[in-house]
Structure 1
Amino acid sequence: MASHIQERNTVSPNLTFVIIHAMLFGIDFLLLTIKPVQMAGQDAWTAVLLCSAGIHIVIVMMYSVLNRHQTDLMNIHIRLFGKWIGLMLNLIFTVFFLFVAVYQLRLFIEVIQVWVFPEMQTWSLALVLLLIAYYIISCGFRVIVGICMFSLINTVLFLTIFFMIPYFHFNNLLPAMSHSPYDILGAMKELTASYMGIEMIPFCYTFIKTPQKSQKWAHWGVLSMTFIYAVEVIFAVITFKPEQLSNEVWPGLTKYKFIHFPFVERFEFIGSSATVLRLFPIICLCIWVASRIMKFTFSIRQIRVLPFLLILVFIATCLIPNRIGVDVVQYWIKLSGISVIFVYFPALYLFDILRAKVEKTK
């Protein structure tokens, strides 16, 4: 089976950069620094670089498989493992992407409930956001990628971190390289969830014109976010003491409290509300991929299965009651992210190579 996508539904290879940037610049970026800094302290930035190096290796493996088969991961599963196992793997990815969408949506709602409207009900905001997501997803992949462009605006808001310069304590970066490899590995494990998003590439592969040329843009997307992650971690170290950071739930939003304008008294309201630009690209891409897998598996139109998936996301989001529930979901997201990125894709790469060698010997 091969995927045949009309050219008018495809996007340029350089927009792979935008897709990766949008997926890696999600709501959980606001929580990025807490666990890594607690584990590796002032050396947490080295964990960012090492984790990024691992991600680049996984991207090379991923494109090696994709370019060899010239199709998306759904078809590759069928080719390598047969119909039934392949379909089962595709359905597992459906659950995975819906899980990510639920997590990101609930995390954003918590941001709004904590920083802007404490009395707002989870279901009301979830309903409005998913209705907007339905409109975006129903317009097709090119529109979703266009929405991903809006996530770049948050890069401008990220620059507001420089308003904190008077509060920096650069001596917090010393002594350098004083933590053990075990601490660095622990920080890398925590950072893996922040790099979740590259697994979107194998499902978007056939929607990219000359997809072989998109690999360099995927690497550039990861590099750009690695720079942002490293800066965020370093700034957290030189702004907060470790004991202070352990008491922060949203260090990525706390920096907005340092910003003061004569015409804006509470800039953190703007900063927290603007995170919606990070939300829509992720939930739209995740639900779009889930609906596409359902179309591939059950031969049903995406537009028909889309309301059903949105209802599932809505119910699951409303079932997460508080911060404890969000932490539980976050734990499983991290575990599944590590399994998919650093276990499944390398295993798929090795299996594909061994299979190709066995076929050559026959």
Structure 2
Amino acid sequence: MQSSIKENYLISGFFAFFLIHSTPIGVGPIGSQIFVFKDAGHDAWISVLFMGISLHVILWMMYKMLDNPAKDVIVLHRMIFGKLFGNAVSLLMIGYFFMLALSSLRTYIDVLQVWVFPTVRTWELSFIFLSIMYYIVSGGFRVLTGVAFFAVLISSLIFTLNYFPIKYGNPTYLLPVWNHSLPDLLKTSKAASDLFIGFESLLVFFPFIRPADKHAKWAHLGLLFTTLQVAFITVSALLYYSQGLLQQTLYPILVETKIIQFPFAERFEFLFIFCWFIIIIPSMCISIWSCTRIMKRVMNLKPSTSLPWILITFFIAVLQFNDRIKVDELSRFVAGLGFYFLYGYIPLMFILFLIRSKMLRSFGSAK
């Protein structure tokens, strides 16, 4: 069963809002908008809402599986598949969280190289960011929660800047509403999965949230806030760009920020890009922390030992994606992987969990 976690490592249920919200908001809003607009066009905001609303069902499934008593995905796997095969499935999840962090960091480095530091090499930026990630992850889960808290505050301020493209936008670009077929909208919802994946790390850190608190509502509010933010920036892009221009624009949200000017910041897009690192760092660090946590639970390997090796492997993996085509392929692969994880793996686990729970109750009553 789930080993008890010391009280000084636990967090209040209120912080579930910040953890659930900060983990999906990575580089998706910057790098994935072109893919989102491909099939549904000016109706893409409807697909984003479809995706966000449906994820509340997935989150509800996760709480049903992990609650009463509180447990993590490792215990869940052992309960359903047995200890040996369950541990093997848990180890596979290390690769999943590793890929989530890899896609976020490599896309952000590409943004920096395109917009700010075109002459700086990938390994130099990678080394700097991995050093920061090591410092944060080695601090433990409560430090990660604190970083997530400040990331949500920064993201809330940053997203208010979408007022400017909306102010200068053209409302007719959103008309006619629902002009695409349901299959096109659903296909776009699948493409939008990259904007939401990451909150499934709840499967790993769930026991760190105090079970006495009713934190399911905070998790759902965090996911709702994420949905509204993503829908808001999607609408702002649709208002600002024509469909033809939008399909040809690399990193549309960054181009929008070029129209923002303040007396103290002429090139505001540079400040925007650097602030975005604060927004994406929780999602990357929580993914890496999830890898170390699974290794500790399954292999009894201390995070102080596993974390350096994970980050060294991470550094080598980042260097393999050395051009824009490979970065785009990585982003699409991770988006597809996340979609099938959310809508394939979790519902399947939920069904198996219900069957297993019913069997255990039947055996218990028979005794």
Using the size of structure 2 for normalisation, the TM-score is 0.95
Is residue 2:142 matched to residue 1:137?
A: no
Unaligned runs of 5+ in 1: none
In 1, distance between residues paired with 2:212 and 2:272? 35
Percent of paired sites with the same residue: 33
Aligned letter for 1:319? Q
Cα deviation, residue 220, structure 1: 0.3
* One-letter amino acid matched to 2:31: L
Q: Does 1:187 align with 2:179?
A: no
Q: Which runs of 4+ in 1 moved over 4 A?
A: none
Q: 1:59 — aligned with what?
A: 59
CA displacement, residues 32-85 of structure 1 (integer Å, 9 cap, x when unaligned): 432222311222121112111210001111111111452111111112111121
Q: Following the alignment from structure 1 to structure 2, what is the Cα–Cα distance between the partners of residues 27 and 312?
A: 21
| Corresponding residue of 1:48 | 48
- Per the alignment, do residues 50 and 166 of structure 1 end up closer, same or farther by CA in structure 2, a change over 3 Å counting? closer
CA contact (8 A) 1:48 1:191 kept: yes
Q: Give the match's secondary structure for 1:5.
A: coil
What amino acid does structure 1 have at the position aligned with 2:27?
I
What residue number does 1:12 align with? 12
Q: Counterpart amino acid of 1:86?
A: G
Kept after mapping to 1: 8 A contact 2:37/2:247: no
Query: SS at the partner of 2:118?
Result: coil
Taking the aligned partners of 2:207 and 2:362, their CA distance within structure 1 comes to 30
Aligned to 1:156: 157
1:320 corresponds in structure 2 to 321
Matching residue of 1:196: 197
Deviation readout 1:174-209 (Å, 9 max, x if unpaired): 111111011101111011121112211111111011
CA distance in 2, matches of 1:118, 1:335: 29
1:83 matched to 2:83? The reply is yes
The 10-residue stretch of structure 1 (62-71 or 306-315) with the greater mean CA deviation from structure 2: 62-71
Maintained 8 Å contact 1:105/1:283 = yes
- Letter of the 2:109 counterpart: I
- The corresponding residue for 1:252 is 253
The one-letter code sitting in structure 1 at the alignment partner of 2:174 is L
How far apart, CA to CA, are the structure 1 residues paired with 2:45 and 2:289?
Answer: 34
Q: How far apart, CA to CA, are the structure 2 residues paired with 1:244 and 1:66?
A: 45
Q: Secondary structure at the match of 2:178?
A: coil
Change (3 A) 1:17 1:211: farther
Work out the CA distance in 1 between the residues paired with 2:213 and 2:336. 30
Q: Superposition RMSD on alpha carbons, in Å?
A: 1.4
Preserved CA contact (<8 Å) 1:69 1:76: no
Q: 2:130, 2:197 → 1: CA distance?
A: 22
Stretch deviating more after TM superposition (162-171 or 200-209): 162-171
| Residue pair 2:32, 2:194 contacting (<8 A) in 1 also | no
Q: Tell me, what secondary structure is at the counterpart of 1:263? A: coil
Whichever residue aligns with residue 51 of structure 2, its letter is C
Does 2:231 correspond to 1:223?
no
Aligned to 1:278: 279
Which position in structure 2 is the counterpart of 1:112? 112
Partner of 2:101: 101
Counterpart in the other structure of 1:31: 31
Aligned partners of 1:27 and 1:20: how far apart in 2? 16
Q: Say whether the 8 Å CA contact 1:44–1:233 is kept in structure 2.
A: yes
Matches within 5 A, 1:265-344: 265-344=266-345
1:170 aligns with 171
Which residue of the partner structure matches residue 22 of structure 1?
Answer: 22
Provide the secondary structure at the position in 2 that maps to 1:151.
helix
Aligned length: 362
| 1:154 Cα deviation after fit | 2.2
> CA shift at 1:24, angstroms?
1.6
For the 8 Å contact 1:205–1:211, the answer to whether it is kept is no
Q: Residue 62 of structure 1 aligns to which amino acid in structure 2? A: M
Task: Tell me by how many angstroms 1:317 deviates.
Answer: 0.5
Q: What SS class does the counterpart of residue 213 from structure 1 fall into?
A: coil
Per-residue deviation at 1:166? 4.3
Cα shift at 1:263 = 3.2
Q: Which sits farther off after the overlay, 61-70 or 10-19?
A: 61-70
